[in-house]
Structure 1
Amino acid sequence: MSSQPFIGISTYFEASVKWGVWELPAALLPAGYPRLVQASGGSAVMLPPDDPAHAAQVVSRLDGLVIAGGPDVDPRWYGAARDPRSGPPAPERDAWELALIRAALEAGTPLLGICRGMQLLNVALGGTLVQHLEGHMDTVGAFGQHPVTTVPGTRCAAVLPGGSDVPAYHHQAVDRLGEGLVASAHAADGTVEAVELPQPAWALGVQWHPEMGTDLRLTRALVAAAVEAPALTRS
């Protein structure tokens, strides 16, 4: 396999985006995501929403997968009534990213979920979400910073021993853990800040936004896992 593993990153469609003289529909991804992957030794592959039936074929061509942050997960995916403070649904993106997650888990493809991506990983495995949480999104449109503490003995703790100060922006969080997931980091108020599947799977979700900082440890760990994963898991 190439020394630059292919790391897919989910993106999203916007109906109208303006750049230069153009204002057109576009597939978007904040630049921090591909830059983080590239700085960590991977080649970034952007994955706009597609037919969920294509997810397994797409994942089979990747060495690793990042599910990016974004809008609230539609509560219908975890059997809950909509809280009026939940954001508008993104059905196309929900269906596509859930299919990518399930395909990655089935194939054994290393997976990193970021913010919404962590929440979707939890939902994909039958977990639920808190639809509104105070204190983790203090200013609309501005990332905050807060400490997280990792749980000893977890993969997250191996990557971030003891914990870290992290950039964060969210108002939803994990409630009931999905099947097989363990909580591997917490905020000071007890909010679950990371979840993972036990060994040998490499599936980790973090509630914060590493792409808004300079700490490469998480994405370097993902890229290392992508290099080390047996080729048969991606065939």
Structure 2
Amino acid sequence: MAETTQLKLPLVQASQAQKHVTVNAALMRLDGLAQLRLQSASTATPPAVVVDGACWFVPPGAVNAWAGQSGKLAIGDNGGWDFLAPQVGWRAWIVDTATDALWDGTAWQPPLMAASPSGAASRMQVLEFDHSLGAGATSTTTTQVPPNAMVFAVSARVSTAITGTLSSWSFGINGSEGQFGTGLGLGQGSYCTGLLGAPTTWYSATPLKLTAVGGDFAGGAIRVAAHYYTIELPGL
């Protein structure tokens, strides 16, 4: 069947019977692709209920109705799925991670601040994760800020009240324990803005460190967001 170049919308043929079928198929695909919103780019199992127009990205290892369709978009269509390969440069909002993304031909990447024809690029990124505190005087995150990152801030908010014998806590890295904040509160909702006066570059993967002041941690949890800049080298 003849179709358009960019969105692969089916075209009505001369003297075609049941033209409404082709037109409706084109409209359904257009409804899924316009202002592209991906429900997820990592879920490998199709939802039990197919919503017409809802769009998903099919990751490697997908099963059931998505088996063999990895790397494509799956658009809900009349109880089934319409599959289409994304084009390089397409942007999408990924609902389950609340992130903007750019398709580079291989994966959904954070959007670029700037890029060159040979692939050099600048990106501003945010790494968000939750960290639970155990008993002790310090607590180090298992999640690390990636290497070669120019860090502008590491912010945090107490998601579960911090308990223990401490009166406050400091937030930083090993050797600079108060880099992002000192005298921080213990109650749920307490926060640390963590802005640096000047950005600092970490050339190796770096965990973050919480230090109890005036006692020890017993429990609690925080949500962390590392705000940093990265570059990509030009290709040959």
> Per residue, is there more helix in 1 or in 2?
1
Considering the TM-score relative to the shorter chain, is it more than 0.5? Answer: no
Largest Rg, 1 or 2: 2
Q: Which has the higher relative contact order, 1 or 2, with Cα contacts under 8 A spaced 6 or more apart? A: 1
The TM-score, its normalising length taken from structure 1, stands at 0.25
The TM-score, its normalising length taken from structure 2, stands at 0.25
